[in-house]
């Protein structure tokens, strides 16, 4: 157990932006909420997964919906509490700790704010090791943990308790309800025992985020480009460097879908990189060849500062570095690829690990 204060939250937010792989929602609002909660209620207890008792009830907390909506409809914090209270009542058991379902983006920050307000510890783990857009795209699901009973609560005071036959149905029904409830809600979801959490989650991901943030910050202070630090911490590789030349983006079914074309500079001169995104970057191709494929992580960094750029933040002319990072091994199983591989998102490419793709590329 260690305590998390403002400095740690600031660092985690930077790491969360990187692991958001262009999506997951800008951590900024979540960071402000977490900072304010810590200011008011004091530091947050961060538990290592192994510190959680096997029989304890762990309930992840997450925002569902379009992060772009959340920017205009900022959660007041009461939604997440209402969802937790309703789920606790339904289960008839006290919640021992919370945790993020996704480390990438805004959803890594919101559980921190909730934990501070409720005086609950946060487990240093998540269910993605990155960001993904749908509820069943979590390692909890891969390991057989059910998304329901789950509660959705909105800022108006409406709430919904869902019991579904599987987590894909939970996603379908909750998604439609979320849209009707104004486009974003807070969830209490994937309630599980400490034992199930240890088995199904990605461990120490908040600490990784924090390290990433701290290293980026330190490098920037010394006027150093922090790319190498990032690659080292994430086992990442530079995929491409260049200048954003074309962005084709549309909002469809609540997702920002599209492609970006980056023209090569430096060692990539005369080459062209195409990024395919659906909220998150999901597929990177160089001269038509896939070089990084979901569930492996793709991030676009500002060439100067090394800071992550979201898919919405991509601007014509921006100089950037595209990096790829291997996903957690849980995603590289048959079920993992089925749930969050390229086929699910409608890309024809077959999944191959980034290490393999880059090895071929180099030959």
Which residues form the interface with a second copy (CB under 8 A)? 86, 90, 156-165, 169, 172-173, 175-177, 179-181
- The neighbouring-strand residues paired with 211 are none
Asked if residue 138 has a cis previous peptide bond (ω within 30° of 0), the answer is no
In whole angstroms, what is the distance from residue 96 CA to residue 359 CA?
A: 45
Q: How far is the CB of 154 from a second copy (least distance, A)?
A: 9
Q: What is the DSSP letter of 97?
A: B
Distance CA 26, CA 223 (A): 24
* 159 vs 310 by CB, closer to a second copy: 159
Question: Which of left, alpha, beta for 183 (phi over 0: left; psi -120 to 50: alpha)?
Answer: left
| 150-153 sheet: strands from edge to edge | 61-65, 184-188, 150-153
Comparison of 156 and 315: residue with beta carbon closer to a second copy: 156
State the minimum distance, in angstroms, from the CB of residue 179 to a second copy.
7
CB of 51 to a second copy, least distance (A): 33
Closest to 109 in 3D by CA, of 34, 165, 184: 34
Least distance CB 177 / a second copy (angstroms) = 5
- In angstroms, the CA 63 to CA 65 distance is 7
Cβ nearer to a second copy, comparing 71 with 168: 168
Toward a second copy, which CB reaches closer, 170 or 282? 170
The residue with tokens 């491409």 is 240
Smallest gap from residue 134 Cβ to a second copy (A): 14
Name which of 185 and 293 has its Cβ closer to a second copy: 185
């Amino acid at each position: 157990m260690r305590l998390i204060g403002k400095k740690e939250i600031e660092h985690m937010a930077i790491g969360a932006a990187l692991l958001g792989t262009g999506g997951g929602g800008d951590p900024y609002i979540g960071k402000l909420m977490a900072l304010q909660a810590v200011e008011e209620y004091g530091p947050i207890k961060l538990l290592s997964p192994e510190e959680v008792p096997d029989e304890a009830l762990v309930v992840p907390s997450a925002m569902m919906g379009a992060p772009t909506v959340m920017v205009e409809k900022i959660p007041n914090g009461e939604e997440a509490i209402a969802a937790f209270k309703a789920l606790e009542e339904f289960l008839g058991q006290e919640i021992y700790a919370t945790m993020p379902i996704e480390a990438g983006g805004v959803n890594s920050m919101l559980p921190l704010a909730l934990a501070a307000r409720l005086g609950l510890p946060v487990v240093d783990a998540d269910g993605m090791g990155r960001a993904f857009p749908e509820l069943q795209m979590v390692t909890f699901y891969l390991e057989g943990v059910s998304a329901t009973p789950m509660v959705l609560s909105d800022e108006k005071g409406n709430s919904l308790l869902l019991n579904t036959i599987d987590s894909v149905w939970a996603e379908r029904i909750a998604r439609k309800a979320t849209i009707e409830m104004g486009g974003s809600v807070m969830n209490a979801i994937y309630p599980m025992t400490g034992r199930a959490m240890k088995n199904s989650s990605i461990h120490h991901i908040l600490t990784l985020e924090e390290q990433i943030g701290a290293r980026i910050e330190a490098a920037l202070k010394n006027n150093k480009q922090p790319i190498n630090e990032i690659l080292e911490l994430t086992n990442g590789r530079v995929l491409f460097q260049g200048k954003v030349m074309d962005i084709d983006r549309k909002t469809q079914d609540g997702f920002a879908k599209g492609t970006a074309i980056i023209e090569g500079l430096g060692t990539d001169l005369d080459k062209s990189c195409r990024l395919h995104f659906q909220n998150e970057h999901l597929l990177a191709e160089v001269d038509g060849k896939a070089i990084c494929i979901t569930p492996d992580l793709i991030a676009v960094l500002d060439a100067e500062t090394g800071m992550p750029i979201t898919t919405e933040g991509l601007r014509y002319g921006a100089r950037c570095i595209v990096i790829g990072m291997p996903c957690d091994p849980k995603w590289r199983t048959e079920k993992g690829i089925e749930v969050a591989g390229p086929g699910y998102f409608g890309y024809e490419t077959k999944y191959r690990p980034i290490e393999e793709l880059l090895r071929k590329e180099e030959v």
